[in-house]
A and B are shown apart, each in its own frame.
Chain A
Amino acid sequence: VKKINFIRFLKIFALALPVLLFVLLSQRYLFYFSNSNEERILRFYQEERDSLDVVFLGASDVFAGFAPALAYEEYGFTSYMYTIDSNRGGLLPYQAEEVLKRQSPQYIIVEINAFLYDRPVEKEQLSVFVENIPLSLNKIEAVWRFKENDRLLSFFPFVIHHGNWSDGEELLEHLNWRLFAANTPSLLKGTLTRTKVDNQLPEDIEVPAEERAIMTVADDDLDEFLRYCQKKNLDNVVFVRFPHKMSDMQAECVELIKDRVQEYGYPFLNLENHKEDMGLDILQDYYNPEHLNIYGQKKLTTYLGKLLLEDYQVRPVVQSENNRLHWEDCVHYYHSYYEYAHEHISKNSDIVCCEYFPEFFQFLDWISEQETA
């Protein structure tokens, strides 16, 4: 009887094992939420431990406005953008916690856009964050706090994303990307742009009433994050406001945030007031009213990098030989990325340019063509 039971157990195990393996492997390599945000979070964990001098937290303004590879080339400090599109302030304490688990940056730069919309944490942002961070208490807390239903599914994203099978070619791209790129450190460190020039004047831009209505400060999120920083004794946090085309639209909210941040004793840097110093051209340097394009990104990176070095005394840590070579690759890659984006802007072809984008493979072909030439 014991032998029969053992054989039966083996049979069940032999059936359950491949199923479990299939689920685990396919949720890692095939069925997952896929865009640049996901990559930005996932590849942060590929960075060498304690190798980053500066880490940015915030929303899309950050990854559109700053290029870590360029900052490295010009000033020698390393940085990363642990940011998600339309990020919400409520997620920032959890994101800072993730950053601090692997890195000891000299500065954590928080772009305040995440506190400018008083809206609850949305499904997309939460999924990107929790599905791509390693299992930890921090992850469990974030899931339990922000998810009302299907909490367990955050740990089994297969259930959520198994419908991706119908994406066909994209599935192979996923596999390709996960196998060959996701396990290596990012080359652009999260930078993204669109190859477009928005040449509207601020006064010509109409903002829908519903969008204006939600532009209020997320007080609770801001207070929570500030309390978190104090609790963790973080004295290296700098709050910034990146430049936008319509500075005065949110000026009042920005001032409120600035006051609150300073009440807690943290510095606040409003780069809206530095646009002239950095030489931003309102008709050339934005791809839309909220985001800088590749030209604006270059100007802001140069300006902010210098500021960080001179006013905030960022001192680049000595990198390992491997990491130094990697950052040199990043610089090389960044220049190709810049040229590629510039070429598309010149051709008026509006595409999204980041490390993982739909035209990624064309981009790689383009790089090899350039190199051959």
Chain B
Amino acid sequence: VSYTSFHFLIFICLIFCVYFLFPSKKYQWTVLLAASYVFYLLAGYRYAFFVLFTTISTYASAIVIDRIAAKAKEELKIHKQEWDRDQKRAFKNQIGKKKRVIMVCTLVVNFGILGFLKYFNFFAGSLNDLLAGSGISFSIPTLRLILPLGISFYTFQSMGYLVDVYREKFPAERNLAKFSLFVCYFPQIIQGPISFYNQLAHQLYEEHRFCFTRFKHGCELILWGFLKKVVIADRAIIAINVAVNSYQRFGGTTLFFALFLYALQLYADFSGGIDISRGVSQILGIELAQNFRRPYFATTIDDYWRRWHITLGAWMKEYVFYPIALSKRFTGVSKKIRATKFGATKAGVHLAKVLPTSFASLIVFLLVGIWHGASWKYVAFGLWNGGVIMLSTILEPQFQALTSALRIRAEALWFRIFQIFRTFLIVLVGYVFDIAPSFRSAMYMIGKMISGQNFTLFFSDLNSLSLIKYDYLIILFGMLTMFVVSFLQERNSATTLRQILDQKHFLVRYTLILVGILVLLVFGIYGPEFEPSAFVYMQF
């Protein structure tokens, strides 16, 4: 069931009715649980085993960890007087070890399933290439594996929960059915946002009564999501696919245009999908986390990743970045630098300060790259982003010195615009690895974009991208609308656009919504005459 299908609309309408008319408000959440499993089973019954396994294994491990922690606390309480500090520490270490073994085992098994299903063929293929290159005539067979829908999202979400229980941020959920709902809540299972347990779970289990304002806001958000996905993203992807599938045929300008379109398409597709998820949830009374904050207004690549796929970034920061950056090995590196002669210099102090976090960033982005897909091009994507962040952090004093030498005011508008363009260009380079069929083709495309600019060819190429002039106009108009909306949101970040809209006269709101619906109906890429494309992030 695709979010943009007619069936999904019927499905959510039914869910809304059953949810708000459910006689027992205490058990209202069971409607969501049933709906989530129906949704998941409709997508493919074979996937259900995997989500059930992750749910049960995480649930059981969290309970065991929780019980160990509770018992340990009791034990400590009992022996509070008789144990000295060393005994207490030894006991805590012992308990910590026990908990860690359970947590690590669960993480390994669940990430192992994800890794095996998603990356086995990639590693087998790469190893086979390597063996063949070394003249060894042995090859690992590749397997026909299924990739359960939303496996990355639900695995990350449930593993985050497990780590938080391990860290004793909150007690483990005792009700398996409730925990199942947290893992497979249907509006977010396909492509996120990845939620933290303490932010989402209580909302899922609370009572919710129908609220017209929430309903209105939710519908507006769904409409906006549909417009972005069905009118802009699904139209732009047609041209992108043509350009990318036969990239050798096109000139550098056309490839750059396709890349630019991809930036628009990816944002419209992903944020559109998230808006639909958030809108549906909002109607149900559940506030999902924001996943985007005008990413193309970012002034640095670091800033971009704080605005793009925010929930993945937050997950990575919480469960990967901090554990690595604050690990003994990494903090030890800082100490070692400080202990050297160089460590006493200004550059040395800076390097000692930023090197552990920079390396941690590189590792995080390498993982983010691999998370996107099983291919060397995604490794390159991760290394490019992580590498740029690492270099910009390490070389920050030099950049600041240059800025002062050139007498540039960092707050100046033109400089901010320059920073936005610069960041956007860096992001675009990363996107080449995303759209190119392989690492080699990505490098070819980058080369062509640098050396093969040809505007005359570009205008004739436009006709070969399977779009007509009206399609380009719609994309242009859509892009401008998205830009204006983003610009207004950026300027009024304290209030949402819907709040601003709410203050307008009824007729203004009515006209805007009506026009939005009609634009969607007429210019949307849907129906049997079109091939609707899946959400890009569904595949991850």
Question: Do A and B bind?
Answer: yes
B459 within 8 A of A: no
One of A11, A18, A23, A163 near B530 (C-beta < 8 A): A163
Q: Is A101 an interface residue (CB 8 A)?
A: no
Indicate if B462 sits at the interface (CB-CB under 8 A).
Answer: no
From 1 to 57 in chain A, residues with beta carbon under 8 angstroms from any chain B beta carbon are 8, 11, 14-15, 18-19, 22-23, 26
With contacts A19-B521, A23-B521, A160-B527 taken as known, whether A166 is within 8 angstroms of B514 at the C-beta atoms is: no
A26, A149, A150, A166: residue with the most chain B Cβ atoms closer than 10 Å: A166
Separation of A152 and B10 alpha carbons in the complex (Å): 13
In Å, the complex CA distance between A150 and B212 comes to 33
Question: Is the pair A159, B526 in contact by a Cβ cutoff of 8 Å?
Answer: yes
Residue of B nearest to A168 (CB): B470
Determine which residue in B506, B514, B518, B527 has the highest number of CB atoms from chain A within 10 A of its CB, and name it.
B527
A150 to B530, CA, bound (A): 13
- Check if B84 is an interface residue, CB within 8 A of chain A: no
Q: Smallest distance from the beta carbon of A72 to chain B beta carbons, Å?
A: 39
Q: In the bound complex, what is the Cα–Cα distance between A23 and B518 (angstroms)?
A: 9
Residue on A with the closest CB to B524? A162
Which B residues are CB-close (under 8 A) to A166?
Answer: 468, 470-471
A15 to B513, CA, bound (A): 8
Which residues in chain B, 511-539, are within 8 Å of chain A measured between CB atoms?
A: 513-514, 517-518, 521-524, 526-530
* B residues near A15, Cβ cutoff 8 Å: 510, 513-514, 517
B465 to chain A, nearest CB (A): 15
Residues of B contacting A: mostly: helix
Closest to B528 in A: A150
Cβ contact within 8 Å between B529 and A161: yes
Please measure, in the bound complex, the distance between the C-alpha atom of A18 and the C-alpha atom of B511, giving whole angstroms.
11
Beta-carbon contact of A19 and B517 below 8 Å: yes
**Closest B residue to A161 using CB positions:** B529
Residue of chain B at shortest CB distance from A14: B510
Cα–Cα, bound, A22→B521 (Å): 10
**Among candidates A14, A18, A19, A162, residue contacting B527 with C-beta atoms closer than 8 Å:** A162
CA distance A26 to B523 in the complex (A): 13
Output the least CB separation between B215 and chain A (Å).
Answer: 9
The reply to whether B514 and A159 contact each other, CB–CB distance below 8 Å, is no
For window 466-521 of B, CB contacts with A under 8 Å fall at 468, 470-471, 506, 510, 513-514, 517-518, 521
Residues of A with C-beta under 8 A to B468: 166
A43 to B521, CA, bound (A): 28
**Within 8 Å CB of B526, what residues of A?**
159
- In this complex, the member of B514, B522, B523, B526 whose beta carbon has the largest number of chain A beta carbons within 10 angstroms is B522
Let me know if A153 is at the binding interface, CB within 8 A. Answer: yes
A8-B212 contact given A15-B510, A161-B529, A165-B523, CB 8 Å threshold: yes
CB-CB nearest 10 A-B residue pairs:
A159-B527, A166-B470, A150-B528, A165-B522, A160-B527, A163-B529, A19-B517, A8-B212, A162-B522, A160-B528
16 further A-B contacts with Cβ under 8 Å, apart from A23-B521, A159-B526, A166-B471, are A8-B212, A11-B510, A14-B510, A18-B514, A19-B514, A19-B518, A19-B521, A149-B528, A150-B528, A160-B529, A161-B529, A162-B521, A162-B522, A162-B524, A162-B527, A165-B523
13 sampled A-B residue pairs with Cβ under 8 A: A8-B212, A11-B506, A15-B517, A26-B522, A149-B528, A159-B526, A159-B527, A160-B528, A162-B522, A162-B524, A165-B470, A165-B523, A166-B470
